[in-house]
Structure 1
Amino acid sequence: MKRAAVIWAARTATAQRLANGSSALLARIGSRTAAWIRAGRRDDLTGLAAALGCITRTLIVAGGAYALWRIVRAAPALLWALVPVWCWAALRTAPRPATEPALEEAPEEPQPDPRDAVLQLLYEALGDRPAMYLSDLLQHLQEKGHGKGWTVAGLRARLEALNIPVEMRLKTGGRNASRGIVRAQLPPLPDGQETVPSPASSPAA
């Protein structure tokens, strides 16, 4: 009886881990797919021309999903290979079950929020300016040793992934409208932190 209870508990734990891993895997695939689609937008164009990349990538994703569905419908035996692969990936993605910390171990220090570090960099880049184009922001970050190899579209996708607002048609300094950040739209920094004015904050963005 005791052995049966242990086996049942192990199966239940595995099923729960599989369900949690499947949810996490779907969320990861969805977020990465959405980021890939958003990165297709052209920042040097406006209107429909700027969104053609996103539309094309969306059609590619939809076409791939439809093609996979048709293949599985035509050959259901493929599920014998696809399902084990999915279960393996879900179990690897599932968060590890929490364990009680040993008495001699010191409690872990809370990890800093990456969003706070990014906000600190944004406020530093803005200096005393009310707004800044993403192209100027990327140049500033790369001069400071951040974002090597990034593009403006990649920077925008990273900001949006952190729920940092990006103004779609910023117009400042007499230049054409483009994407940028606006100080008034940024979340405040955590208490106790101060911004360091950018050395290049005197000219307009």
Structure 2
Amino acid sequence: MNRLRSTADRLWNGSIEVARRRANRITAWVRSSPTSRGSWVRLGVVLGLGWIAVRAVRAAPGLLWIVAAGWLWAAYRAGRDHAPEPLTEGAEPAPAEAAENAPDGPSTEAVRTLLLDLMGDARGVHLSTVLAHLQQHGQGEGWKVGDLRARLEALEIPVDPKLKLGKVPTRGVRKDALLAPSPTVGQAPSPEASTAA
């Protein structure tokens, strides 16, 4: 019974992970279009493919067996690495905090350089654009914009809640805020603190 339960949990967690990955990839692809018209066209392509898939399954219901088998296989594989860790008594989950404090995380300077590269001549960059770039390069798998925002804020990179680029106001990083010196960098100690020492 315990083995059956662990297999069911693995399939459950894996299904969530597979769905999240697919949704993130589709969203990133739609949003990565350089123009808003291109984003609408890409959204139309996604909806059209979904409609074709539904029509194909209605015409040949046996296709569902193949789809289900493929989904279960992907979920089983993804569930191996994404099982939830048990919490010790009294401990609270803090996945974002743990990820920011990991020793192998990127430095603030590396992140600033990446953001400036993505901005180019623009006055800022939307977090959805940054996330799409990261996921296209095999990073940030399963992240949402909120996860990226939390990581940037942990690196003391200010995030604007309504950065307007083109006609779309959404979360982003402004170039002027990124180029401004960090308040904690190069701060001289206060005279009171020096005299107290």
Place the TM-score, normalised by the shorter chain, in its bin.
0.5 to 0.7
Q: How far, CA to CA, are the matches of 2:14 and 2:22 in structure 1?
A: 12
Q: How far, CA to CA, are the matches of 1:96 and 1:155 in structure 2?
A: 24
Q: What are the equivalent positions in structure 2 for 1:1-205 lying under 5 Å apart?
A: 8-42=1-35, 51-94=36-79, 95=81, 97=83, 110-114=102-106, 116=108, 118-121=110-113, 134-136=119-121, 157-158=132-133, 161=145, 162-163=148-149, 167-169=164-166, 181-184=174-177
Tell me if structure 1 keeps the 8 A contact 2:32–2:132.
yes
Q: How far, CA to CA, are the matches of 2:82 and 2:102 in structure 1?
A: 18
Tell me, what secondary structure is at the counterpart of 1:41? coil
Q: TM-score, normalised by structure 1?
A: 0.52
The Cα of 1:72 is off from its aligned counterpart by 1.0
Q: Which amino acid is the alignment partner of residue 39 of structure 2?
A: C
Higher radius of gyration, 1 or 2: 1
Q: Which amino acid is the alignment partner of residue 53 of structure 1?
A: G
Give the paired residue count: 138
Q: After superposition, give the CA deviation of every residue in 1:42-79 in whole Å (9 maximum; x if it has no partner).
A: 3xxxxxxxx11000000000111111111112211111
Q: Percent identity?
A: 28
Let me know the Cα RMSD of the aligned residues: 4.1
Tell me if structure 1 keeps the 8 A contact 2:32–2:39.
yes
Q: Which amino acid is the alignment partner of residue 87 of structure 1?
A: L
Q: Which amino acid is the alignment partner of residue 71 of structure 1?
A: A
Gaps of at least 5 residues in structure 1 are 1-7, 43-50, 100-108, 126-131, 138-152, 171-178, 195-205
Q: After superposition, give the CA deviation of every residue in 1:130-188 in whole Å (9 maximum; x if it has no partner).
A: xx992248xxxxxxxxxxxxxxx965843895335554159xxxxxxxx98333389x9
Q: Residue 26 and residue 156 in structure 1: after superposition, are their counterparts in 2 closer, same or farther (change >3 A)? A: closer
Q: After superposition, give the CA deviation of every residue in 1:64-114 in whole Å (9 maximum; x if it has no partner).
A: 111111111221111111111100011111225569xxxxxxxxx934444
The Cα of 1:29 is off from its aligned counterpart by 0.7
Q: Residue 56 and residue 122 in structure 1: after superposition, are their counterparts in 2 closer, same or farther (change >3 A)? A: closer
The Cα of 1:40 is off from its aligned counterpart by 1.4
Tell me, what secondary structure is at the counterpart of 1:76? coil
Q: Residue 58 and residue 85 in structure 1: after superposition, are their counterparts in 2 closer, same or farther (change >3 A)? A: same
